[in-house]
Structure 1
Amino acid sequence: MRVLIMGNSGSGKSWRARQLAGLHQLRHLDVDTIYWVPGMVAVARPAYEVLADLHAFVHSHADWVVEGCYGDLIEAALPFCTQLVFINPGTDACMANNAQRPWEPHKYASKEEQDSMLPFLMKWVGEYDVRDDTCSYAFHRRVYDSFQGAKREDAPPSGDAS
């Protein structure tokens, strides 16, 4: 089993990936851990290094779950997956989840440092539907819709258009 999970920040990707990893003994990669320079907040590593680490991970493990909001990296791993999952609970749910996010020591030196980034994160998450970057709804939608393999979308409940 090789599962890719994508969605907005706060959509539940990490929770779902940890759940799958535990249930099926899968290796788990949170793409944030290879995307950012270790110990530095919001400083991206060179794209070729990130792609090399992603390819090394998917090639060195028989069964895995990879999750992230970076649609271009999800797209790069598509040829190696057995299932694509697009989690899209709506912007309001993502905003609420980010406001409650526990400290992530693999990303931030302290809870205070993480909390200092929250206003930027909330603005960025709130713009998911209108951004045009590789982490946007439009990019995720294109990746999902064009993928011909096994896939599942967890969409917002009916009536929630956010």
Structure 2
Amino acid sequence: MNSKNILIFGNSGSGKSTLAQKLCAQYDLAHLDLDVIAWKPGLPPARMPLAESGALIERFVAEHAGWVIEGCYADLLEMLLGRCNELIFLDLPVAMCIENARKRPWEPHKYESKAAQDANLEMLIQWIAQYPERSDTFSRAAHRALFERFDGNKTLLELNHPT
């Protein structure tokens, strides 16, 4: 594996997308935000079956020699542990993640409008605050376990990366 294949994960608002975009620009890598393949379209939000998300991940990896894949889904990231050569865990304080979420620009790949994104903000902030206590695939515990299992080049960042 000569290309860079990087996984970035952490809480919502930890800076995953920002860091992914910088690394993609710096190394000319393809970018996949797992948010776009983890959920079925429409409301209420519902997870896409893991097999379907996994097939989309496989297609993305097959189409791109070098990539950055980012998200908070330990179950999806687990599928890629043997395919990446670098792992970055953004384990920022919850208060910093909440501040980042409040300042986040519109994400058109996730929301129809900035107003729709803003309407979801309070729910997102509550979800961010639960990160340390949750026991699901989006939790700090799941992310720490993923980080510990990886034997390759890995970085733990506990503060925002320089801009």
Query: TM-score when scaled to structure 1?
Result: 0.92
Q: Which runs of 5+ in 2 are unaligned?
A: none
Report matched runs for 1:34-53 at 5 Å: 34-38=37-41, 40=43, 42-53=45-56
Q: Is the 2:7–2:69 contact (alpha carbons within 8 Å) kept by the matching residues of 1?
A: yes
Work out the number of aligned pairs and report it.
157
Tell me the equivalent position of 1:92. 95
Report whether the alignment pairs 1:133 with 2:136: yes
Q: Is the 2:50–2:76 contact (alpha carbons within 8 Å) kept by the matching residues of 1?
A: no
Question: How far does residue 40 in structure 1 lie from its aligned partner after superposition?
Answer: 4.8
Report matched runs for 1:83-162 at 5 Å: 83-156=86-159
Query: TM-score when scaled to structure 2?
Result: 0.91
The amino acid across from 2:71 in the alignment is G
Report whether the alignment pairs 1:18 with 2:21: yes
Q: Is the 1:11–1:89 contact (alpha carbons within 8 Å) kept by the matching residues of 2?
A: yes
Give runs of ≥4 in structure 1 deviating > 6 Å: none
RMSD, aligned CA:
1.4
Tell me the equivalent position of 1:27. 30
Report matched runs for 1:59-98 at 5 Å: 59-98=62-101
Q: Is the 1:39–1:109 contact (alpha carbons within 8 Å) kept by the matching residues of 2?
A: no
Cα deviations across residues 103-146 of structure 1 (Å, max 9, x unaligned)? Answer: 11111111111111111111110010000001100000000011
Cα deviations across residues 24-80 of structure 1 (Å, max 9, x unaligned)? Answer: 000000011111224556332222111110121122211000000111111111110
The amino acid across from 1:55 in the alignment is E
Identity of aligned residues (%): 44
Tell me the equivalent position of 1:160. none
CA distance in 1, matches of 2:128, 2:121: 10
CA distance in 1, matches of 2:83, 2:62: 8
Q: Is the 1:95–1:122 contact (alpha carbons within 8 Å) kept by the matching residues of 2?
A: yes
Secondary structure of the residue aligned to 1:80 is coil
CA distance in 1, matches of 2:43, 2:115: 14
Residues 1:108 and 1:39: Cα distance change in structure 2 (over 3 Å): farther
Q: Is the 1:39–1:107 contact (alpha carbons within 8 Å) kept by the matching residues of 2?
A: no
Tell me the equivalent position of 2:12. 9
Moved more, 81-90 or 52-61: 52-61
